[in-house]
Amino acid sequence: MNAKLVTRFFLMLLGISFVGTSLHAQHVPRLDSYDGVVVRILQSNNAGDVQHIIDPMTNEVVGLIEGCPRPHNIFTHPEGLYYYCTNEQEATIDVFDTRTLQLVEQLELTARPNKGAINKTHRKIYVGIAAAPYVDVFDLDTHEKITSVEVTTGIHNVYVSPDGNWVVAGLNAQAEGSIEVIDPNIDEVVRTITLYDDDGEPHTVRPMAFLAADDGSTDKLFAHGSGVNGIWVMDWETGEREQMLFPPTLPAWMRNADGNQGAPMHGLEVLPDRSAVWASSRLDSRIYGWSLPDLEFIGGIEVGPTANWMTSTPDSKYMYVAVSGSDYTIAIDLETREIVSKMTTGARPARIDVAVLPADRVSNAGASR
């Protein structure tokens, strides 16, 4: 059995051992124990070419990915073989070995990318192209380009549904019908969804997140929209809005308009144990939580200027938030709702993700800067 197959089998065993629901039911896989695996926080720095790897056990920067200028996001091969970085400057996916952190290859894209994501079910990589109306598709195992899915405008972000049955692309410019859903079996757009407000006005979509049902299928879509400091809660089956979630309104003097780019909220995460959904508000410099499934407001945590993307640990105990206005990443204890660590990262930290790696895939390169 080759190394890739051994690693895949190993992670399948972890899924059976550690969780009651599917290992990949949410964006961050649920793990109730870290035995046999290593967890890393991947912090991309949108204004630099050095990306930071954080050990959540120590809250120290333990590795640097050098290269990939103007990264949009970093994500991980499902068997832990590679880190993928969407390179906005060179219009490539930069592929780094997770053990050595060295660049392995660059996959050429149609044009400048935004966010990329992996569909584990269909063994494909999907990358939203910001500068052209396409989603580029690559074979996960060979890294060969399969196709470019034609969409209406350039893409802001691409996501994969919890069950792997759908690839969801948010258009950069169009408001009505601005979420286009791709069927990965045929790699074609088969459906559109629109974020309407109370007045029936459509909004351009920004970050999104999913809530899985008990069987791992897709239940709800959460989304941020342009100009709104709140969350759309959408029924996935119908594509209709169920409700809106808004945090308490802060007085004007407590708000931060810098860097909002027409998107006051710009980060969403459903915890791996599906106990809550959290959103970051660049306008309020806070993250806000709502319990699941009842969507009761939990509260807010002040994190610093221009709170941006965030990600939780697989045990749902900690949230890591990129604070773009101050070039650091913070760790929050979600039980006490207190900041427990602040790590200096790079220039304008933005997209952030979690890697769950087999122990033999962890880099020993260390942090050299």
Which residue is it, tokens 């991309």? Answer: 44
Under the banding of pLDDT at 50, 70 and 90, the label for residue 85 is very high
Where residue 23 falls among pLDDT bands split at 50, 70, 90? very low
pLDDT > 90 fraction of the chain, expressed in percent and rounded: 76
Examine the pLDDT at 362 and tell me if it is beyond 50: yes
Percentage of residues in the chain with pLDDT exceeding 70?
A: 91
pLDDT at 14 over 50: no
The model's confidence at residue 30, banded by pLDDT at 50, 70 and 90, is very high
Nearest to 195 by CA among 242, 249, 265: 242
71-77 average pLDDT score: 94
The residues facing 290 across adjacent strands are 277, 297
Supply the pLDDT for residue 324: 83
Rounded distance between C-alpha atoms, residue 326 and residue 322, angstroms: 9
Averaged over 352-369, what is the pLDDT?
80
Distances (CA, A) of 32 to 5, 17, 29, 273, 343: 24, 9, 10, 9, 25
How many residues in total does the chain contain? 369
CA 265 to chain CA centroid, Å, is: 14
Question: What residue spans of the chain are helical by DSSP H?
Answer: 3-18
Per-residue confidence (pLDDT) for residue 365, from 0 to 100 = 62
- Condensed to tens digits (0 to 9), the pLDDT of residues 159-217 reads 999 999 999 999 998 888 899 999 999 999 999 999 999 999 999 999 999 999 999 89
Q: What was the pLDDT predicted at 1?
A: 39
Higher model confidence: residue 2 or residue 325? 325
Cβ atoms of residues 85 and 93 within 8 Å: yes
- Above 50 in pLDDT, residue 20? no
User: In this predicted structure, what is the pLDDT of residue 184?
Assistant: 98
Indicate the domain borders of the chain.
3-360
What pLDDT, on a 0 to 100 scale, did the predictor assign at position 13?
44
Above 80 in pLDDT, residue 237? Answer: yes
pLDDT tens per residue across span 250-303 = 998 888 876 566 788 999 999 999 999 999 999 999 999 999 999 999 999 999
Question: Could you tell me where the beta strands, DSSP code E, fall in 109-204?
Answer: 113-119, 124-129, 134-139, 145-150, 155-160, 167-171, 179-183, 188-193, 195-196, 202-203
- Distance CA(50)–CA(70), nearest Å, equals 9
pLDDT at 278: 98
pLDDT of the residue at 4:
45
Strand partners, 322: 329
Mean of the per-residue pLDDT values of the chain: 90
Least-confidence region, from 153-157, 223-227, 323-327: 323-327
CATH superfamily label, 3-360: YVTN repeat-like/Quinoprotein amine dehydrogenase (2.130.10.10)
Lowest-confidence region among 6-20, 47-61, 287-301, 340-354? 6-20
Greater confidence (369 vs 313) lies with: 313
Nearest to 329 by CA among 43, 8, 5: 43
pLDDT for 319 beyond 70 = yes
